[in-house]
Amino acid sequence: MLTLKQIRYFVAAAETEKVSAAATSLGISQSAVTVAIKELEAQLGISLIRRRVGGIELTQDGHKFLHHARNIEANIVDAMNSMTNKEAQTTGSIRLGVTYTGVGYYLLPNLARFRRAYPNVVFNLIEMERSELEEALHGGGIDLALVIVSNLSRRHNLRYRMLMRSPRTLWLSSGHRLNRLSKISLQDLRDETYVQFASDEAPVAARGYLKVKPKVVLSTSSMEAVRGIVATGEAVTILAHLVYRPWSLDGGRVESRALADKLPSLDLGLAWTPGKTLSEAERKFIDYLQKEGSNASV
C-alpha cells in the first residue's frame, strides 16, 4: 500500500533533483529517501528516477506519477483546510477571463484545489486573446483576467497581482550538438533552425529577448507540434519552463537548458480594472493563487 511518506519523499526528490537536497529539506537521512522511493517503485512496478551526474532525473513514468503525487499532497491539505477553515463558507461567482498559456498550464489544477477549499464559489471561464480580455474587463464582461502581465497594454491602466514567474529556457533534443556544450548562449543559436510558438503573443516577446534573428521553420499555436519537432532535432526553441514537458507525443525526449544570457521570465498575474472593489470571493481567489504561486516550482 502506498503511504503519504513515500509520496512526500518522492515529490521532494523530484523537485530538488537531488536525494541529498530532499533529505535536507525533510530533515531526514538520504537513505530514508532512497528506501522510500525504491519501495514506491516496487509497489507501482515502474522506475520513477534514474541517477545522473550531480543528482537524479525523472523517467517518463516518473514525470507522469509526479503529477498524481502532487495532487495527492494537495488533496490532503485541502481536506484538512476544509475541516478547520470557516472561511470555506465564502460564496460568490467569478467571471474569469483566461488565455491559452494561463488556462492550460497554470490555472486548472489550482482552480480545482481552490474549489475544493471554497466549494460555494462558482466560476465561469472565458478564453480570449489578451486584447479581448482587456476590453472585456473594461466593459464589465468579466471580473478578473489571468494574463501574461508583460503583455498588458497601458491603455486601460489595469491593476494586477503577480502570481508566478517562470524562467525561459532553451528546448532542444537529447542528441543535439549544443547539448555537448557546458554553457549555451543566444549567439550559439545563430545557425540553428527554430520553431516559434505562436500563441499568447510569444513571437512579440521573442523579438524582445532574442539577439539573433532565428531561422523559423515552423510557427504554430500547437505546443505538441513544438515539442514534436524539437524532439526530432530538426529545430530548437525558447519557451517558459512553465510549459515545458520532457516528452513529445511519440516519446521523443526534449531537454531544457538554461542559457548564459539573462532572459526575461514569463510572468502570470490576475488583472482587474482600476477602481474596482474586489468581492470577498475574488479576494480569496487572488490570495489563494498568490500563495500557491509562492510555493510552486516552475
Q: Are residues 241 and 103 in the same domain?
A: no
Question: In the predicted model, what is the mean pLDDT of residues 134-138?
Answer: 95
Q: Domain check: are 144 and 276 in the same one?
A: yes
If pLDDT is split at 50, 70 and 90, which confidence band does 52 have? Answer: confident
Q: Based on the domain organization, do 51 and 100 belong to the same domain?
A: no
Give the CA distances from residue 105 to residues 40, 100, 101, 258, in Å, rounded to whole numbers and listed in that order: 27, 8, 6, 20
Average pLDDT rounded to a whole number, residues 31-56: 89
Is residue 98 domain-shared with residue 233, that is, in the same domain? no
Coil, strand or helix at 93: strand
Residues 243, 277 within the same domain: no
Residue 14 DSSP symbol: H
C-beta of residue 26 within 8 angstroms of C-beta of residue 33: yes
Q: What is the CATH number of the domain that holds 39?
A: 1.10.10.10
Report pLDDT digits (tens) over 260-275. Answer: 999 999 999 999 999 8
pLDDT at 70 over 70: yes
If you write DSSP's letter for every residue of 216-276 in order, what string do you get?
A: EEEEES-HHHHHHHHHTTS-BEEEEGGG--SB-TTS-BEEEE--SS--PPEEEEEEE-TT-
Q: How many domains does the chain have?
A: 3
Tens digits of residue pLDDT in 179-219:
999 999 999 999 999 999 999 999 999 999 997 788 999 99
Q: How confident is the model at residue 87 (pLDDT cuts 50, 70, 90)?
A: low
Q: Are residues 161 and 175 in the same domain?
A: no
Residue 143 CB neighbour total at 10 angstroms = 24
pTM over 0.85: no
Q: What is the pLDDT of residues 153-163, one digit of tens each?
A: 887 789 999 99
Domain of 74, in residue numbers = 4-81
Beta bridge partners of 48: none
Q: Which of 34-43, 49-58, 68-77 has the highest mean pLDDT?
A: 34-43
Question: Residues near 169 by Cβ (< 8 Å), separated by ≥ 6?
Answer: 238, 239, 240, 241, 244, 256, 257, 258, 259
Q: Is residue 104 over pLDDT 80?
A: yes
Residues 46 and 70 in one domain: yes
pLDDT over 90 percentage in the chain: 61
Distance CA 102, CA 129 (A): 11
What pLDDT is attached to residue 103?
94
Average pLDDT over residues 142-171: 92
Regarding whether 188 and 158 lie in a shared domain, the answer is no
What would the mean pLDDT of 114-142 be, rounded to a whole number? 94
CB 68 within 8 A of CB 106: no
Tell me the CATH number at 271. 3.40.190.10
